[in-house]
Chains A and B, each alone.
Chain A
């Protein structure tokens, strides 16, 4: 069995409910493998458990079942190996943009001199186009600029895995577009492994090597792994001219409109029957449907019965 860089194994999360003794199963039996340097997006309806999965990867939450192995080590808690960018920037408001990044750099390399930390921080702030705003506090920055500082801070510590939870969700469409391209630029220079949650299909197609699709909860599953077979470098302006763009887009939208619901109902029936919920996502390449390696006539996730 070949091990990937990041192995999510049989992951399940159940929460106690306020008005019942039964646990609420948010998702269960999730198996996902992510390779080094891959950019993976996770899409699913609100409440299906995306943030919960990301928090487990960040080490900020403990799953009910299963585990996550990164670089042959189990993730047991938060660490500098996992950089996190949240939707609400989470910058320290009493520090300037530069000091926020230097704060992270100092945590990562405590022995560096101040000059070296500063130079490193400024390099990353430069990459996200913030040369003129380094001395400003977060309250003096626009929403987009704050999120850029967050990106610079996360990339600056050069984590093994970069986690982003709807990082551009609070931004207007124009700003979002600009920052997406900046993110692509900084990613192409560093080739971090990225796991990002988004609800924007076009954003996922622009950024990702692969999009994971999640069914609705409860008993949510990561049902499909959709390959984004579009050559890089990609730009927003030319993306829709790509032959593969519309097949991919249609597939993702169809899933969100129809598939997520249908498969969710199936998963809940299976759970009621007591089937083993462990599953790996079905691999799909909408750009070349005939070449689908694991094509099956059965829609829905492939169940792994023997564990």
Chain B
């Protein structure tokens, strides 16, 4: 039953992919959208003339994107100067910033969330600040970060830190605060110390909620890193996209978009996997 459903879903997914690629290929074929063949459109003249890399509409065909992707992926880590690095190097920079900012945020948000969740007083006292700081776009911090830190790489990491912290903080506090009273009574009647209660009862009880917060955080961090790197420049997948746009290399832009999706999916999937280990059925 289920495998049958999975099989049909896979087939349907593949059909959608083929249809999408087919429409894309047709739409970007030169003879369809370029009636005045031989003549350069005004846009093309502006863009420096039609090249054989792009179709007349300016959007590369999927075949062009794939052949470009193939050449990029066959040598992902080449380094030919500041403006010409392999996609692997650029992604590695972005992943490094995201993981570092995320880890710093977790280091602060989870213990702080724990304390806030355990104390109704702190919960109420922190609440207004969290509510006001949480909706601020992380990029709004960028100028301040650049001014204070005076380092573009560290500023990007700070922006990741600040956007990762809220979901983890809020979820940890909520998960800790809503641990079932029955389980706390078990800890009390067994005379567990506060530390033992925290580690053997509250932490396992709240772990699924905490991991959900971490999963939301890493998703947001991956969204934000692209924009942050477009702003600070230098390295990273966000910078790469902006750079290729300036080079008018749309095949590279589309290829980078797809890679961002794949890496984001892998980051999310790894935390989803971790959630499985701490989930419990009640």
Interface residues of A (CB under 8 A from B): 58-60, 77-80, 82-84, 86, 88, 90, 92-94, 103-104, 107-108, 137, 139, 157
Contacts and interface: CB of A to CB of B under 8 A. Distances in A.
A93 B190 contact: no
A86 B182 contact: yes
Interface in B225-282: 278, 280-282
Contacts of B47: none
Main DSSP-derived SS at the B contact region: helix
A42 B31 CA distance: 91
26 contacts: A60-B185, A60-B188, A77-B188, A78-B185, A78-B189, A79-B191, A80-B189, A80-B190, A82-B189, A83-B189, A84-B185, A86-B182, A90-B182, A90-B186, A92-B204, A92-B205, A94-B205, A94-B278, A103-B190, A107-B190, A107-B191, A107-B192, A137-B280, A137-B281, A139-B280, A157-B190
A58 to B, nearest CB: 6
Contact of B282 (A58, A59, A80, A139): A139
A108 B204 CA distance: 21
Given A78-B189, A84-B189, A93-B282, A103 B182 contact: no
B200 interface: yes
Given A86-B182, A103-B200, A93 B280 contact: yes
B201 interface: yes
Nearest to A88: B182
Nearest to B196: A107
B281 A139 contact: yes
- Chain B interface size range: 10 to 19
Nearest to B185: A60
Given A90-B182, A92-B201, A94-B204, A60 B189 contact: yes
Q: Which 6 A-B pairs have the closest CB atoms?
A: A139-B281, A107-B190, A90-B182, A94-B280, A78-B188, A78-B189
B40 to A, nearest CB: 67
Interface string B83-124: 000000000000000000000000000000000000000000
A94 B204 CA distance: 7
Interface string B180-224: 001101101111100000001100110000000000000000000
A257 B182 CA distance: 33
Contacts of A107: 190-192
B189 to A, nearest CB: 5
